[in-house]
Amino acid sequence: MKKAFLTLEKAKEIDKEYSTPYHIYDEKSIIENVRAINKAFSWNKGFKEYFAVKANPNPFILQILKAEGCGMDCSSMSELVLSKAVGLDGNGIMFSSNATPASEYKYANKLGAIINLDDFTHVEFIKNVLGTLPKKMCLRYNPGGVFEVCNGIMDNPGDAKYGMSKEQMFEAMKILKGYGVEEFGIHAFLASNVLSDKYYPMLAKILFELAVEAHEVTGVNITFVNLSGGVGIPYKPEDEPCNIANIGEGVRKAYEEVIVPSSLGDVAVLTEMGRFVMGPYGALVTKAVHFKHIYKEYVGCDACAVNLMRPAMYGAYHHITILGKEDKPCDHKYDITGSLCENNDKFAIDRMLPEIEIGDFIYIHDTGAHGFSMGYNYNGKLRSKELLLKTGGEVQLIRRAETIEDYLRTFDCFDIFEKFDFEGSR
Ligand SMILES: *Cc1c(COP(=O)(O)O)cnc(C)c1O
């Protein structure tokens, strides 16, 4: 059973101050979860979770994670700026991007971030851009082919645009060593949203073995292995959640098997989880505003795919709870839709739910990662507000909703809105 972290009473109380739609995040559970992650890997001296900022780029959230010891994994200029703004730099930032502009390498270097090179050609590119390279760098690996986690979950690294081959990695290490780089890390992201405790241990074994081989072949120091993200969350009620303690233990076994007997010395294990850190601890709350019956039963709500793109984009399942009707039978079949002129703008298709009435709070689960952050402005729709349910139960506005002025701001090269009468439009 998936349980909402808001009750109907709380939603009604919030509604007096903050109208729907909004994303809301549960601070207490976020903190408990990050503590469990840190505990699971506490056997490794250098362990650090670099939260994947793209999953939830809200500085209030980043501050909570930073206070629990997390660094930030950035992939763009804006994400670097956000991380710096919450007080991180140096080893607190991992910069993993691809097709990277020179300006971003420069700024990442200025912050002292650990730069993760995605491609062999970036070795010469970054040398030309920076002149002097940082002492510590990371390289992204792509083994090609297919990657299979024991229970049949597969991904297709051979089709992915990321990373470099083993030969390219070793060659890059030799060249970078010649350019003065003293410490290396290796990184790979081979599968996404994996609901298996075996993913990280399997990936760790591959990367640990690669680290040992790289050290033997090139003589470079490998001081960290970055397992990146990919640990899954139970979006569906029948999904079995991952057990982070088991995952940490599995990685420890691989470490003892491969790293301990090697001549590498201490190797820090790093992670860059986004979904696992934040996904379950956010929800999109929207209200039922219209009914429509044609060949199917539709419920129109005040959020749409611009607020949560995953169902429209990947057909992703997000569980729905009608607040206050948790114990009612799910005996009605609905499509829950937004108002975009796109037929994929549906949060749920043929979903069995309790009977919905106009004004009901529709609570869409698991939007804490890759939810708000994937938002866009199609149909001129505006981004929603974001709220934080604080540990003490109070609710804080951590981002206001976009306004029509925000939407029009990029037309300021144009004077047609200067004397425009906005009456009735806001
Ligand atoms: C997206 C991404 C992550 C986070 O992935 P999750 O599936 O949210 O855990 C981590 N590292 C890199 C480089 C990414 O692109």
Atom of ligand 1 nearest to the CA of 54: 1
Average pLDDT for 281-308: 98
CA 72/CA 50 separation, integer angstroms? 4
Question: Which residue, judged by its Cα, is nearest atom 5 of ligand 1?
Answer: 229
Average pLDDT over residues 207-217: 97
Distance CA 63, CA 417 (A): 37
User: Looking at this protein, which amino acid is placed at residue 413?
Assistant: C
Name the DSSP class of 131. Answer: S
Residues facing 96 on adjacent strands: 116
Q: Where in the chain is the domain with CATH 2.40.37.10?
A: 280-417
Between CA 34 and CA 362 the distance in angstroms is: 28
Taking the centre of ligand 1 as the mean of its atom positions, its distance from the CA of residue 277, in whole angstroms, is: 11
pLDDT in tens, 222-269: 999 999 999 999 999 999 999 999 999 999 999 999 999 999 999 999
- Report CA(93)–ligand 1 centroid distance (Å): 14
User: What are the tens digits of pLDDT across the range 77-100?
Assistant: 999 999 999 999 999 999 999 899
Burial 252-281, CB ≥16 within 10 A → b, else e: bebbeebbeebebeebbbbbbbbbbbbbbb
Q: What interhelical angle do 102-110 and 121-130 show, nearest 10? A: 60
Compute, in angstroms, the gap from residue 273 CA to the centroid of ligand 1. 6
To test ligand 1's pocket by mutation, which of 76, 199, 233, 272 has the most ligand atoms within 8 angstroms of CB?
272
Q: Tens digit of pLDDT for each residue in 36-91?
A: 999 999 999 999 999 999 999 999 999 999 999 999 999 999 999 999 999 999 99
Q: Measure the CA–CA gap between 147 and 202, rounded to whole angstroms.
A: 10
Q: Give the gyration radius of the chain's Cα atoms.
A: 23
The DSSP call for residue 159 is G
Q: Which fold has domain 26-276?
A: TIM Barrel (3.20.20)
Compute the average pLDDT of residues 156-168: 88
Question: CB count, 10 Å around CB of 335?
Answer: 17
Q: Which residues contact 323 (CB under 8 A, 6 or more apart)?
A: 4, 6, 7, 8, 11, 360, 361, 362, 363
Which residues of the chain are in CATH 3.20.20.10 domains?
26-276
Distance in Å, CA 230 to ligand 1 centroid: 6
The alpha carbon of 94 and the centre of ligand 1 are apart by a number of angstroms equal to 12
Distance CA 182, CA 179 (A): 9
Instruction: Locate the ligand 1 atom nearest the alpha carbon of residue 116 and give its number.
Output: 13
CA 127, CA 125: separation in Å to the nearest integer? 5
Q: Which atom of ligand 1 is nearest to the CA of 273?
A: 9
Residue 309 or residue 153, greater confidence: 309
pLDDT band (50, 70, 90) for residue 150: low
* Rounded Cα–Cα distance for residues 315 and 329 (Å): 25
Per residue in 300-355, pLDDT (tens digit) is: 999 999 999 999 999 999 999 999 999 999 999 999 999 999 999 999 999 999 99
Question: Cα angle at 320 between 317 and 322, to 5 degrees?
Answer: 170
Contacts of 246 (CB under 8 A, 6+ apart): 197
Ligand 1 surroundings by CB, under 6 angstroms: 52, 54-55, 73, 75, 96, 189, 192-193, 228-231, 272-276, 369
3-state secondary structure at position 268: strand
Q: Give the right CATH number for 280-417 from 2.40.37.10, 3.40.50.10310, 2.60.40.420, 2.170.120.12.
A: 2.40.37.10
Strands 22-26 and 297-301: unpaired
Q: Which residues pair with 155 in a beta bridge?
A: 147
Residue to mutate (ligand 1; options 73, 83, 116, 199; most atoms within 8 A of CB): 73
pTM given for the model: 0.96
- 107 alpha carbon – ligand 1 mean position (Å): 21
Whole-angstrom Cα distance, residue 250 to residue 197?
Answer: 8
Q: Tell me, in angstroms, the distance from the centre of ligand 1 to residue 410's CA.
A: 30
Q: Which atom of ligand 1 is found nearest the CA of 370?
A: 8
Q: Which atom of ligand 1 is nearest to the CA of 369?
A: 8
- H runs (alpha helix) in 86-165: 102-110, 121-130
For residue 388, how far is its CA from the centre of ligand 1 (angstroms)? 23
By residue count, the chain amounts to 426
